[in-house]
């Protein structure tokens, strides 16, 4: 169904992100500015989609943006004066209006909807473009776009090219059908491939004056209703199959309770289908006569959408994380959003260069998806805040591979990152010692160098809040393990830029005495690396650290 119509006609909207529950604390002038800007963006998208057949945004992001506008209107007591279907309404009246569909946001809502209803069916919610098909004496004579649900555009000019639409029924009947034109996909699995903007592809093709024959072969039809057909869903499906339209019966299942509906939803989500889907449709067996249908969501049908593959959410804060080597990574703190049952409230932008190119500020709306089904990523900025909050990254050169060997002002984050590397799998591989523990030890003033912790004993640790006897014993055991680690492991744990293939069979004093030229004699060590190694081992702070480790009996120092 066209995305604007789904939103315009739905009275129960599903808000997938945090703006569904909270209203922004904006002054009145900013609220007006933000709403005005969002209206303008949506109007531009609507015009391109309905008038030109061009989609400027992914379907799911349009839906969520429209929902956000509705939410902001409610928050600030404004009437919705936008008209998403202003350019969709056509000159031709549908024989039977297209109803909308309510969206059920979660298991509870689905159970409530099903609770007092009998004779229910479930179908895949095909992600395509809704149409009316008019047959006379069994021949398809007219194809109408959904438009605003009451009046649509005549797409009959494309009928000679749409080879996968049944032009002639197996019986010479006069009838009106409602269905979905979809982009044909071979063995499409929604759970892994997503919708691939299939809906927009079909909409763009149908809006053309001439439909290329090769593209037309990619368009299929799924009939989801026969308004004046037999009285029950089972009868309608059976008769459609007899007329040469078998897919309605093939992809419809009777359900008696929630568990059966959940089963079929999961089944179609993870099974190969010939079309993209964005959820399932639940419908009652019986419904009112077609003469009583209205262009709004009725009580006898509802949609249960799939988990979002791409979500729109607000940037709450932009901060810059400093890593062990001084690399600065922009992080976005987000209004929490759920993607494929995973709650996401923070995402990395990877590099300062990407943050600068996207120019993301607090208040911006960004599209989030999961890379490899697990790692959240920013796909794009969808809406920019009308108010551009200042954001300042660290000055260039402030952090680097040799900065922050102590938690001095501005250095705490990089210093803790050094400690975390030291105790992590790439370093000494010590259990019980992660960023949280290191942070608490640093905050308590117990650790100010990479070696201070070796001097901590039972009494000192037990004085720290929440450091109970069992936890202290585990930490002391990790400290003992550290003392037994070999010299080469310690060198890499401290962050020395030593190539992984290079074996270190000497001691600190020997390595510190090497010149850059001597380092270059090692296999795989070039000029830049040799200078880094010389700088590392001769740095006064690391010379002092080596002396501290020697006093604690660490081999090789």
By annotation, the residues acting in catalysis are: 125
Cα–Cα distance measured from residue 49 to residue 204, given in angstroms and rounded to the nearest whole number: 8
Cα-only R_g, the chain: 32
Contact assessment for residue 145 and residue 87, using Cβ atoms and an 8 Å cutoff: no
Residue written as tokens 């066209």?
Answer: 2
Cα–Cα distance measured from residue 369 to residue 18, given in angstroms and rounded to the nearest whole number: 16
Closest to 117 measured CA to CA, from 306, 303, 301, 305: 301
Q: What's the burial of 20, exposed, middle or buried (CB within 10 Å: 0-12/13-18/19+)? A: middle
Cα–Cα distance measured from residue 301 to residue 281, given in angstroms and rounded to the nearest whole number: 7
- The runs of H, that is alpha helices, within 117-273 are 190-193, 198-206, 213-216, 233-242, 247-250, 258-270
Ramachandran category for residue 363: left, alpha or beta (phi over 0 → left; psi -120 to 50 → alpha): left
Contact assessment for residue 165 and residue 104, using Cβ atoms and an 8 Å cutoff: no
Q: What is the DSSP letter of 497?
A: -
Question: Going by C-beta distance under 8 Å and a sequence separation of 6 or more, which residues neighbour residue 360?
Answer: 315, 318, 330, 332, 349, 366, 378, 381
**DSSP string for 300-324:** TEEEEEPPPSEEEEEEEEEEEEE-T
Contact assessment for residue 43 and residue 82, using Cβ atoms and an 8 Å cutoff: yes
Cα–Cα distance measured from residue 462 to residue 337, given in angstroms and rounded to the nearest whole number: 39
Cα–Cα distance measured from residue 180 to residue 167, given in angstroms and rounded to the nearest whole number: 15
Beta-ladder partners of 204: none
Question: Going by C-beta distance under 8 Å and a sequence separation of 6 or more, which residues neighbour residue 531?
Answer: 516
């Amino acid at each position: 169904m066209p995305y604007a119509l789904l939103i315009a006609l739905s009275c129960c909207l599903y808000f997938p992100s945090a703006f569904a529950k909270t209203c922004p604390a904006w002054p009145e002038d900013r609220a007006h500015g933000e709403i005005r800007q969002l209206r303008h963006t949506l109007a531009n998208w609507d015009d391109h989609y309905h008038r030109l057949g061009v989609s400027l945004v992914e379907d799911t992001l349009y839906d969520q943006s429209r929902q956000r506008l509705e939410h902001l209107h409610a928050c600030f007591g404004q009437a919705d004066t936008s008209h998403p279907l202003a350019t969709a309404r056509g000159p031709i009246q549908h024989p039977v209006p297209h109803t909308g569909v309510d969206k059920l946001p979660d298991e509870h809502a689905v159970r409530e909807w099903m609770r007092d209803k009998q004779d229910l069916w479930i179908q895949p919610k095909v992600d395509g473009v809704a149409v009316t098909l008019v047959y006379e004496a069994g021949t398809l004579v007219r194809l109408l776009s959904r438009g605003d649900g009451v009046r649509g555009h005549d797409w009959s000019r494309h009928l000679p090219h749409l080879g996968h639409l049944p032009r002639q029924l197996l019986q010479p009947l006069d009838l009106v059908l409602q269905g979905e034109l979809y982009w044909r996909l071979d063995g499409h699995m929604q759970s892994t491939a997503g919708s691939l903007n299939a809906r927009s592809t079909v909409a763009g093709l149908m809006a053309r004056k001439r439909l290329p024959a090769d593209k037309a072969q990619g368009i299929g039809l799924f009939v989801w209703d026969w308004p004046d057909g037999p009285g029950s869903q089972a009868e309608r499906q059976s008769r459609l199959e007899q007329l040469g339209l078998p897919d309605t019966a093939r992809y419809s299942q009777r359900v008696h309770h929630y568990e059966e509906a959940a089963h079929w939803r999961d089944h179609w989500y993870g099974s190969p289908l010939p079309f993209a889907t964005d959820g399932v449709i639940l419908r009652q067996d019986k419904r009112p006569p077609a003469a009583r249908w209205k262009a709004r969501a009725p009580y006898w049908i509802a949609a249960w959408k799939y988990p979002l593959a791409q979500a729109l959410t607000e940037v709450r804060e932009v901060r810059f994380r400093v890593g062990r080597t001084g690399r600065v990574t922009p992080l976005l703190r987000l209004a929490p959003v759920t993607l494929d049952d995973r709650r996401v409230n923070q995402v990395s932008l990877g590099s300062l260069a990407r943050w600068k190119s996207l120019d993301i500020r607090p208040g911006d709306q960004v599209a989030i998806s999961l890379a490899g089904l697990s790692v959240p990523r920013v796909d794009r900025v969808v809406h920019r805040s009308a108010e551009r909050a200042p954001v300042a990254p660290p000055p260039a050169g402030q952090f680097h591979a040799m900065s922050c060997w102590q938690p001095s002002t501005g250095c705490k984050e990089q210093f803790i990152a050094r400690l975390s590397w030291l105790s992590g799998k790439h370093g000494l591989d010590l259990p019980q010692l992660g960023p949280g523990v290191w942070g608490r030890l640093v905050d308590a003033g117990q650790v100010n160098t990479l070696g201070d912790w070796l001097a901590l004993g039972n009494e000192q640790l037990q004085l720290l809040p929440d450091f109970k006897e069992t936890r202290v014993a585990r930490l002391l055991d990790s400290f003992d393990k550290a003392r037994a680690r070999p010299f080469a492991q310690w060198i890499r744990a401290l962050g020395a830029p030593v190539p992984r293939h290079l074996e270190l069979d000497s001691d600190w004093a020997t390595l510190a005495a090497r010149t850059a030229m001597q380092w270059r004699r090692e296999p795989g060590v070039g000029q830049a690396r040799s200078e880094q190694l010389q700088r590392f081992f001769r740095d006064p702070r690391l010379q002092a650290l080596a002396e501290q480790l020697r006093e604690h009996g660490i081999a090789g120092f």
